[in-house]
């Protein structure tokens, strides 16, 4: 039997462990002197890191305040906010649909703040499109309109559907790439909720809901499987030819066409959703003044201009140019449906149940 | 001496209570409410205790789709276990009982599979499905889910199967033959009882991994085959239904605990103890058998290479649409990714290294301590470790976040990566306890007794006798905890303090927003870190094992 020189080996192992532990503490103390210093703001961002970092760098260059970003989906980020109440680290939640903010607000994670540059903007556009929380718990920094993204190599211009209803018609069988509303809570859920609200407004709650279910059945019959988890994956699927059409916000196909070379063009549809993209100040934010500075900068002329440069998305304050390919509020508002974000948040489970019922059959 | 023993036991169990039991209780309490609950928050519990109810459970059992998800999850778990066992059995036999060439290479290649994140393997298949369009099956189906999950489980099954078959003492078989015992009886009365514990350990771990998996079902599970972890995840993170999501996962936990109980009963009934000197393995050197097994093992082992090649192509791609290989390449994906996550490599190495060391330390203390009577309650410890292992990683993250996010203990969540490291440890403690336990079980009692007599005390016995013999299991345990922690996403997103994003977290962030190349670049770095470590450790393991024998 070999007797190892374990005394010295054990000593080496112990020394290594001590060094590693010291390194952990040392790194945390010296490389990151505190979790964040006074000149920083922690932003939980529901955005792709590459683009978002460019935007945050523009803020830092302008103000000297460093952004410490945490990237993730809205669900992950809000989940972390809710579970970490009592030891908050986040200052601002950035990006995501109002329906997610409406639900998140019920968890008490936001605090009211009125950004000066949009203080005169009412909670509703045209009296029916929810634009911001009435109590200033969340507010927009850009917006988008819901339309369709079309692969021009698979769908000719003359064959592009001109209404949501046409998506359920037989000529589009095998062409629709549909998002799963359970996971795609901005686009997928938004689309199905829009259709449900349209039917219920036109035919009454009971008949409208029945007709909505028939519509879902028809659209899913025309859809390719798998159903995509989010609109980014749906764009990739349409871009690579898995299907010819998907539902998405009108600025996204242009983004994918530019960055990835996909043959995609957006089409705006009647009865669209005018959807604000929101942000909010976190309740108990550890860097209040920097958080407010960030929010104010995003809604300043400089910040709104950078939204167009970095994200190709339109501004919400006057005097800032709208990027090519985007639509102004005045263009969208006349064809926008009086989409109820709160109803969407309250009925998300019912809508996904209808989807699951037909998707699993 | 009794006071010292008592003190050691109190310390040990306090440690386990603080990091296993209390988070579990918080998690279970949440299933009876609608928001996460910390058991330290006594005033909050007092205020809401009247509102606790079974409504989340009633909602689950009254919904046929939710019930189907539980049924489908069980079907998937059993199917993955069976398929991965069938695939791995010949490989395990070849590695442990034949004179097959290239064992270290095959073992190292298979171990690479353990270090590849589930979502990366899934994306490899998605790329094949989308760009190559040559897959003979639909990736987004039960078959696709079964194939992908079985392939990720094969390395585990091979490892445990190899350990199990490697513990088979040839002397017992030869003496049975010499006494005229039939081959069938030899198999059922000698071989099976000796190898069953190792295989059973592999099967229960694969079953728990399959039922607790999140990233693969989230990406691949079709709507008509819902998996409960993915369903709970979307209930939590899409609709913020904490109570319903926790109830779903508590039910899954109960099912997994039931499976663990079956395993423990089966082990108790079938376990055997072999004593005596001169443990010997007889290697099968039949040429036909060796060649066939070598070819088969090589095919199985090369699969991780294919995954890495696809991952590598994506990591260096600039544009890749609808072609077999990228149409243009770039080296800037790595720099661009690290510009956003500069500390991710160090975060990964530091946290996973510490998690591995702590896990094997606890495993060694518990297994050696219970074997020698220092620590009481071996089965309680095993059960606790397997229970936490039965939880999905996202619930470990939620449990820790809910429990420790308060003004007193918040520092270990928000400032130091303590909760993150301990979350890694206790989500994977089952791996290291099993590995160390199997190795220690193979050490005969006579060696223990001889060591105690000849050496001064239990510590010397541990140092000079047990450690060298248990080294293979310790290395295996450390390896598993290190690589599995390095690919964790679900608990990391919740527990990583600011600036402590790991490679896995950063990779998934890029991939989930369509930045596949950047995500693949960081995942490629994970493989480059784990690959040399696994290869080196397997070389060392082989040398140490040979020296000791």
Q: Which residues of A touch B324 (CB under 8 A)?
A: none
3-class state of residue A247 by DSSP: strand
Q: Report whether the peptide linkage leading into residue A201 is cis, meaning its omega lies within 30 degrees of zero.
A: no
Tokens read off for B377: 């309650």
According to DSSP, residue B283 is labeled: P
Closest Cβ opposite residue B509 in set A71, A183, A225: A71
- Kindly state whether B359 is in contact with chain A, defined as any CB-CB distance less than 8 angstroms: no
Task: Give the whole-angstrom CA distance, residue B168 versus residue B170.
Answer: 6
DSSP letter at B342 equals: T
DSSP conformation class of A278: E
CA distance A353 to chain B (A): 8
Q: What ipTM is given for this predicted complex?
A: 0.72
Contact A87 B414 (CB under 8 A): yes
Do A180 and B223 count as a contact with CB atoms less than 8 A apart?
Answer: yes
CB contact under 8 Å between B494 and A50, yes or no, is: no
SS3 category, B498: coil
Segment A299-332, tens digit of pLDDT: 999 999 999 999 889 999 999 999 877 888 888 8
To probe the interface with B, which of A2, A18, A19, A87 has the most B CB atoms within 10 Å?
Answer: A87
Secondary structure class of A92 (helix, strand, coil) = strand
For residue A223, report the phi and psi dihedrals to the nearest 5 degrees: -90, 150
Quote the minimal CA–CA distance from A117 to chain B in Å.
30
Contact A75 B234 (CB under 8 A): yes
State the nearest Cα–Cα gap between A318 and chain B, in angstroms. Answer: 30
Residues 96..115 of A with a Cβ closer than 8 Å to B: which?
103-104, 107
Q: Taking the mean position of all CA atoms in its chain, how far away is CA B215? A: 14
Q: Which residue of A has its CA nearest to B320?
A: A260
Facing residues of B284 across strands? Answer: B98
What is the nearest CA distance from B428 to chain A, expressed in angstroms? Answer: 20
- pLDDT (tens place) for every residue of chain B, 549 residues total: 577 788 888 888 888 888 888 888 888 888 888 777 777 777 777 777 777 889 999 999 998 889 999 999 999 999 999 999 999 999 998 988 888 888 888 887 887 777 676 777 777 776 666 555 566 777 778 888 898 899 888 888 888 888 788 777 777 778 888 888 887 887 777 777 778 888 888 898 899 889 988 878 877 888 788 999 888 888 877 777 888 988 999 999 899 889 988 988 888 766 555 544 455 667 888 899 899 999 999 999 888 788 888 888 889 988 776 677 788 899 999 998 998 888 999 999 999 999 999 999 888 888 888 877 888 887 787 777 767 667 777 778 878 877 887 667 777 777 788 889 998 998 888 778 877 877 777 776 676 666 666 666 666 667 777 777 778 778 878 888 888 898 888 788 878 887 788 998 888 878 777 677 888 899 889 888 877 776 665 665 554 433 332
Nearest Cα to B483, choosing from B325, B360, B348?
B348
Query: Would you say A181 and A351 are in contact if contact means Cβ atoms under 8 Å apart?
Result: yes
E strand or H helix that includes residue A176? strand A176-177
Distance between CA atoms of residues B182 and B377, nearest Å: 39
Asked if the C-beta of A85 comes within 8 angstroms of chain B's C-beta atoms, the answer is yes
Chain A residues inside the 8 Å CB shell of B218: 183, 229
CB contact under 8 A, A24 and B226: no
Q: What sections of B373-466 are H helices per DSSP?
A: 378-390, 393-404, 411-414, 418-441, 445-454, 457-461
The owner of tokens 């198999």 is B187
Which chain A residue lies closest to B400 (C-alpha atoms)? A83
* Chain B, window 7-36: residues with a beta carbon less than 8 angstroms from a chain A beta carbon: 35-36
Q: What residue of A is the nearest CA neighbor of B36? A: A83
On the CB side of B68, CA atoms within 13 Å amount to: 12
Do A227 and B223 make contact, defined as CB atoms within 8 angstroms?
yes
């Amino acid at each position: 039997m070999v007797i190892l020189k374990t005394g010295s080996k054990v000593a080496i192992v112990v020394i290594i462990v001590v060094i590693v532990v010291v390194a952990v503490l040392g790194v945390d103390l010296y490389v990151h002197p505190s979790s964040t210093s006074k000149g920083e703001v922690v932003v939980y961002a529901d955005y792709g890191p590459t683009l978002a970092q460019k935007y945050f760098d523009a803020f830092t260059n302008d103000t000297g305040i460093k952004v410490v970003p945490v990237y993730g989906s809205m669900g992950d980020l809000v989940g972390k906010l809710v579970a970490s109440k009592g030891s908050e680290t986040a200052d601002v939640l950035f990006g995501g649909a109002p329906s997610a903010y409406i639900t998140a607000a019920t968890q008490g994670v936001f605090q009211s703040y009125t950004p000066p540059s949009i203080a005169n903007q009412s909670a509703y556009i045209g009296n029916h499109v929810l634009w911001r929380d009435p109590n200033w718990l969340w507010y927009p920094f850009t917006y988008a309109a819901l339309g369709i993204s079309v692969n021009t190599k698979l769908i000719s211009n003359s064959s592009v559907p001109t209404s949501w209803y046409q998506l359920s018609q037989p000529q589009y069988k095998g062409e629709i790439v549909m998002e799963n509303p359970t996971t795609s809570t901005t686009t997928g859920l938004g689309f199905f909720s829009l259709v449900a609200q349209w039917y219920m407004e036109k035919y009454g709650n009971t008949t409208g809901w029945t007709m909505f279910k028939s519509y879902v059945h028809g659209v899913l019959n025309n859809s390719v499987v798998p159903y995509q988890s989010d609109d980014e994956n749906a764009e990739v699927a349409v871009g690579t030819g898995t299907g010819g059409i998907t539902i998405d916000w009108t600025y996204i196909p242009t983004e994918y066409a530019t960055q990835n070379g996909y043959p995609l063009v957006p089409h705006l549809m009647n009865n669209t959703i005018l959807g604000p993209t929101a942000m909010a100040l976190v309740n108990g934010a550890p860097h209040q003044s920097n958080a407010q500075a960030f929010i104010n900068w995003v809604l300043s002329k400089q910040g709104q201009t950078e939204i167009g440069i970095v994200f190709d998305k339109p501004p919400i304050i006057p005097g800032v140019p709208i990027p090519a390919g985007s639509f102004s509020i005045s263009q969208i508002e006349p064809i926008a449906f009086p989409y109820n974000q709160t109803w969407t948040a309250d009925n998300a489970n019912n809508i996904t149940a209808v989807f699951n019922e037909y998707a699993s059959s | 001496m009794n006071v010292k023993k008592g003190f050691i036991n109190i310390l040990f169990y306090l440690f386990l209570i603080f990091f296993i039991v209390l988070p579990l209780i918080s998690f279970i309490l949440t299933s009876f409410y609608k928001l996460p609950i910390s058991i330290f928050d006594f005033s909050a519990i007092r205020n809401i205790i009247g509102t606790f109810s079974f409504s989340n459970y009633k909602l689950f059992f009254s919904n046929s789709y939710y019930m189907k998800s539980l049924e489908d999850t069980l079907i998937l778990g059993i199917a993955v276990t069976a398929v991965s066992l069938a695939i791995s059995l010949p490989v395990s036999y070849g590695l442990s009982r034949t004179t097959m060439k290239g064992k270290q290479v095959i073992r190292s290649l298979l171990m690479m599979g353990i270090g590849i994140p589930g979502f990366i393997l899934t994306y490899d298949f998605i790329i094949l499905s989308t760009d190559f369009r040559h897959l003979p099956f639909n990736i987004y189906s039960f078959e696709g889910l079964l194939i992908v999950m079985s392939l990720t489980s094969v390395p585990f099954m091979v490892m445990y199967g190899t350990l199990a078959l490697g513990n088979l003492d040839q002397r017992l078989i030869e003496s049975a033959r010499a006494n005229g015992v039939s081959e069938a009886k030899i198999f059922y009365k000698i071989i099976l009882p000796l190898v069953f514990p190792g295989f059973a350990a592999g099967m229960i771990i694969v079953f728990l991994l399959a039922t607790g998996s999140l990233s693969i079902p989230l990406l691949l599970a079709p709507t008509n085959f819902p998996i409960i972890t993915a369903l709970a995840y979307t209930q939590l993170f899409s609709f913020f239904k904490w109570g319903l999501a926790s109830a779903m996962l508590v039910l899954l936990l109960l099912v997994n605990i039931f499976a663990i109980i079956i395993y423990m009963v089966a082990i108790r009934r079938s376990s055997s103890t072999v004593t005596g000197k001169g443990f010997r393995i007889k290697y099968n050197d039949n040429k036909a058998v060796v060649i066939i097994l070598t070819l088969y093992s090589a095919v199985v082992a090369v699969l991780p290479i294919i995954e890495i090649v696809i991952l590598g192509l994506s990591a260096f791609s600039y544009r890749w649409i609808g072609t077999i290989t990228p149409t243009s390449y770039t080296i800037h994906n790595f720099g661009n990714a690290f510009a956003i996550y500069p500390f991710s490599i160090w975060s990964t190495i530091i946290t996973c290294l510490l998690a591995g060391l702590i896990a094997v330390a606890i495993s060694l203390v518990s297994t050696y301590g219970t074997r020698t009577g220092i620590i009481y309650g071996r089965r309680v410890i095993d059960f606790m470790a397997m229970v936490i292992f039965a939880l999905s990683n996202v619930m470990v993250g939620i449990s820790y976040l809910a429990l420790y996010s308060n003004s007193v203990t918040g520092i270990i969540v928000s400032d130091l990566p303590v909760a993150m490291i301990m979350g890694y440890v206790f989500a994977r403690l089952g791996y290291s306890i099993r590995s160390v336990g199997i190795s220690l079980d193979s050490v005969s009692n006579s060696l223990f007794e001889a060591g105690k007599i000849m050496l001064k005390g239990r510590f010397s016995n541990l140092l000079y006798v047990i450690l060298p013999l248990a080294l293979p299991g310790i290395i295996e345990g450390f390896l598993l905890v290190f690589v599995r922690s390095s690919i964790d996403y679900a608990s990391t997103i919740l527990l990583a303090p600011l600036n402590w994003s790991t490679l896995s977290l950063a990779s998934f962030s890029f991939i989930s927003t369509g930045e596949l190349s950047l995500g693949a670049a960081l995942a490629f770095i994970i493989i480059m870190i784990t690959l040399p470590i696994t290869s080196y450790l397997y070389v060392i393991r082989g040398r140490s094992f040979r020296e000791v024998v």
